[in-house]
Amino acid sequence: ELILAIETSCDETSAAVIEKGDTILSNVVSSQIESHKRFGGVVPEVASRHHVEQITLIIEEAMSDANVGFEDLSAVAVTEGPGLVGALLVGVHAAKAIAFAHQLPLIGVHHIAGHIYANQLVKELQYPLLTLVVSGGHTELVYMESEGQFEIIGETRDDAVGEAYDKVARTLGLPYPGGPHIDRLAAEGERAVELPRAWLEPDSYDFSFSGLKSAVINTVHNEKQKGREVNPANVARGFQESVIDVLVTKTKRATENYPVKQLLLAGGVAANSGLRNELETTFSDSEVELIIPPLSLCTDNAAMIGAAASLKFRRQQFSDYALNGNPGLDLESQ
Ligand code: ATP
Ligand code: MG
Ligand code: FE
């Protein structure tokens, strides 16, 4: 079983060849960050144009890195949604063209299912399991009783955690994307600025980060008005501590209330060193096995889409040529 996978949901153009859902033969990622930096965020039109320019080259490179031909493939998989519609369409059209030309089955994949299944490239998954999804657009606790079954037990009510990182970074005058900069700065902070934690209702697994984000903006603004400069490292540390405290505490409680064998970390914010360390400490002598993918599999990539597509291939859950980019694709109905 060899799957060519394509991912173009946001600002990475990526193609990968995956064998049997767990082995990476190639994973080529072309990031557009440099083009979006001066706008302080991803500009949809710029993203689509870059994908159009890159997609053919990236697919060719993934095929040649893997040393396979189109006739060797079992299927073509592509991110169907969520994401930017114009960006998604570039990948979807490329996948359809290859599927049609080489008479291959076509598989539409949910982007977040991809982030979750990135862990299958690291370790054999054992169900039931729980995933903490932390990315630029999502913050979710996803319970999977069995393979391919997604239940969102908690999610953010406002900002995604990556979004909060990027906005706080902007307030501190750091470049886009701000997550890695805040992460680095937080480690330099000697005294964390005290910031609130949004616990919500006692039994809720939901999250909220907009209050924290506003608290950071107010703190920086108030100090300025008093003619003082805040220490950015202390603000970064306070912000990061608040985020991690809430994420890890709620995740821990969920692993105690659901019969999970494994806890997976997924999404771009999984690259956060503070979060990785805190999860490792918290679960070091737990019955629950913690899996954290390497950084290259946390941020957007096509290998994770190939991993998620493998189950759909085995179950013959194929898409037809009506497949379209779907920004609102639902995870639980996958
Ligand atoms: P989604 O997956 O929800 O559609 P996305 O694909 O844009 O969103 P990802 O590419 O998975 O998001 O993750 C990007 C986010 O990860 C950005 O917000 C970025 O700031 C954040 N990020 C990356 N590295 C770190 C880090 N070390 N610490 C905190 N955040 C980080
Ligand atoms: Mg991205
Ligand atoms: Fe993503």
Give tens-digit pLDDT for 13-53.
999 999 999 999 999 999 887 777 877 888 888 889 999 99
pLDDT, residue 171, reads: 94
Ligand 1 atom index nearest CA of 275: 28
Q: Is 320 annotated as a binding residue?
A: no
How confident is the model over 95-106, as a mean pLDDT? 98
Ligand 1 atom index nearest CA of 176: 20
Ligand 1 binding pocket mutation candidate from 30, 240, 269 (most atoms within 8 A of CB) = 269
CB proximity list for 140: less than 8 A, separation 6 or greater = 112, 131, 132, 133, 152, 154, 155, 156, 331
Measured in Å, residue 12 CA sits from the centre of ligand 2 at: 6
Give tens-digit pLDDT for 214-252.
999 999 999 889 998 889 999 999 999 999 999 999 999
ipTM over 0.85: yes
166 lines ligand 1 (CB under 6 A): yes
pLDDT, residue 68, reads: 98
pLDDT at residue 63 greater than cutoff 90: yes
Which ligand is nearest the CA of 182, by number? 1
Give tens-digit pLDDT for 130-187.
999 999 999 999 999 999 999 999 999 999 999 999 999 999 999 989 999 999 999 9
How confident is the model over 281-295, as a mean pLDDT? 97
Q: Which of 130, 135, 175 lies closest to 151, judged by CA? A: 130
Q: Is 179 annotated as a binding residue?
A: yes
How confident is the model over 256-285, as a mean pLDDT? 97
CB proximity list for 168: less than 8 A, separation 6 or greater = 178, 182, 213, 216, 217, 235, 236, 239
Ligand 1 binding pocket mutation candidate from 8, 88, 165 (most atoms within 8 A of CB) = 165
